[in-house]
Amino acid sequence: MFADKRPTLALLASAVLIASCAMTSTRQATAQALDNILADEHRPEADRARDRFRHPKETLLFFGIRPEMSVLEVWPEPGWYTDVIAPLLREKGRYYAAVMQPDPGSSYITGRLEVFRNKLGAAPTLYGNAAIVTFPSDGADVVPPGSVDMVVTFRNIHNWMAKDTAAQAFATMFKALKPGGVLGVVDHRGNPANPQDPRAKSGYVTEDYAIKLIEAQGFKLTGTSEVNANPKDTKDYEQGVWTLPPTYRLGDKDREKYADIGESDRFTLKFEKPKT
């Protein structure tokens, strides 16, 4: 009886070891590819200077990105992460840039979208098969339901909270993901001792508030990371998070002080769309 089970257990252990080695190898290959992309001259020097605050390699590896994935980035413009993710997916995967809804009455949005579209159009070899889609505010599908492996969005929750569309935004992302797909989120982390402003006027969102908001749309939290934490950020500034670099909304007032603090303290969260 026991002799019959040993080969099966041995084969199972071997299969687990092989799978583990394959995952390690894939992660190492992805890490090397990200190193090459981050060092490439297509990235402006100003963007590279922000790597020490945004930790793109560590963040994307935490989310579990792989070159063969289909990835939807929500509100990517002006394209800081586009310059990292799109080249990674260029040969084997697919990058969807889900840009904000056009607004002819807003010169800011119109100009932002134009710059982003021109950016992708000017370097088709670099951005490969990247596709621009519109992330709707009316609940419509941004891509076919259940069609992408991963959705990522960086520092946008507060923007949707300001418009009271945050729940709808994450519901749209949930619908776009395949079962088992991953949602990766980064945003400015608020002080948990303070009540959360539902409109996030300061730009800060408490981590617990964000988790509850996202899980309410059906997602399951599977991991948190402190890779984008900044303990110097006191989160109590006259002009909110925009007091800090790179915005410096106060101009030259106390600029050295805010430069020393650096960019905001940020939470980094990983969610999964349940498989069933």
Considering only 13-27, 130-144, 193-207, which range has the smallest mean pLDDT? 13-27
pLDDT band for position 13 (cuts 50, 70, 90): low
Mean pLDDT, all residues of the chain: 92
Predicted pLDDT of residue 16: 47
User: Is 233 a residue whose pLDDT tops 60?
Assistant: yes
Q: How far apart are CA 264 and CA 228, in angstroms?
A: 9
Enter the tokens of residue 202.
């300061």
User: Is 39 a residue whose pLDDT tops 60?
Assistant: yes
Predicted pLDDT of residue 137: 63
Predicted pLDDT of residue 2: 44
Across 44-49, average pLDDT: 94
Domain covering 44-272 assigned CATH 3.40.50.1100 in the classification: no
pLDDT above 90 as % of the chain: 85
Q: Report the chain's terminal Cα–Cα distance, integer Å.
A: 36
Predicted pLDDT of residue 173: 97
Q: Taking the domains of the chain in order of start, what are their residue ranges?
A: 1-39, 44-272
Strands 177-188 and 266-272: antiparallel
CB < 8 Å & 24+ apart, contacts of 87-91: 87/37, 87/40, 87/42, 87/126, 87/127, 87/128, 88/30, 88/33, 88/34, 88/37, 88/60, 89/128, 90/126, 90/127, 90/128, 90/129, 90/130, 91/67, 91/128
The pLDDT tens digits for 97-122 are 999 999 999 999 999 999 999 999 99
Peptide bond into 44 cis (omega under 30): no
Predicted pLDDT of residue 129: 83
* pTM across the whole model: 0.90
Predicted pLDDT of residue 132: 95
Considering only 9-13, 77-81, 217-221, which range has the smallest mean pLDDT? 9-13
- Angle, vertex CA 30, rays to CA 266 and CA 25, nearest 5: 120
Output the CA torsion 212→217→220→225 (10° steps). Answer: -50
User: Is 31 a residue whose pLDDT tops 60?
Assistant: yes
The answer to whether 100 touches 163, Cβ cutoff 8 Å, is no
pLDDT band for position 1 (cuts 50, 70, 90): very low
Is the model more confident about 138 or about 123? Answer: 123
Across 18-40, average pLDDT: 83
Considering only 7-11, 143-147, 235-239, 270-274, which range has the smallest mean pLDDT? 7-11
